[in-house]
Amino acid sequence: MILNARLQTEQSTADSLPVLLIHGLFGSLDNLGVLARGLKDDRPLIQVDVRNHGLSPRSEEMNYAVMAQDMFDTLDAHDIDRVSVIGHSMGGKIAMALSALAPERIEQLVMIDIAPVDYQTRRHDDVFAAIRAVNKAGVTRRSETARIMRNVINEEGVIQFILKSFHDGKWRFNVPVLWDNYATITGWQEIPAWPHSVLFIRGGDSAYLDNQYRDTLLKQFPAAQAHVINGAGHWVHAEKPDAVLRSIRRFFAL
């Protein structure tokens, strides 16, 4: 599947290895825009809408093998052979799956606040409940949508993040498919060890990269480095963009 993509190629970096940026659940290619803006003068960039998100095609199938293949199909469509990859949350798991599908096409991996594990927990039921409430109300304005969502979700930052995908009374993610495949999205099947350069960035206040996952992480990514950014949660790149960009730049310079 060829995904909706945005390419940024500065003339001065045209010969540099491109960086693929992959967003997380309920997101779109704009979600890593703060990183794209910070890196656009360093490397060519390609941002994508994951299947069933943004303006990319819809499908009933939603697992990491097919989502990783989508990335390679999209790179092929733009004549990009080899990349470094930055992925947040679900996008980080897609990035990890790329290393199993075609490891020779991946130079470096950066995973933002996600581990290669089956979390076996439901962290987004309130989001789905809020979306269903909005759909039931039939509202079309973002202000009305936000008011309804506040009855279910207590975190204003989460509400504003979800609202970025609400346009003209419709969601730009495939709610039924995300619901049906939620266990697969939060789950994980162990992949072969990838011994190359990997950076895991953790928000210090987030539980997604808890120390309990260390052994499982190192089994699959034995050369992994970790960087904890204090005072940030799961959306660490939005809360502390300068710190995340510094960490990524240091890593890419190795």
Instruction: Find the length of the chain.
Output: 254
The answer to whether 59 and 51 have CB atoms below 8 angstroms apart is: yes
SS3 of 9-52: the string is CCHHHCCCCCEEEECCCCCCHHHHHHHHHHHCCCCCEEEECCCC
Smallest CA-to-CA distance from 16 within 107, 97, 78, 91 is with 107
The answer to whether 113 and 88 have CB atoms below 8 angstroms apart is: yes
Q: Which residues are annotated as catalytic?
A: 89, 234
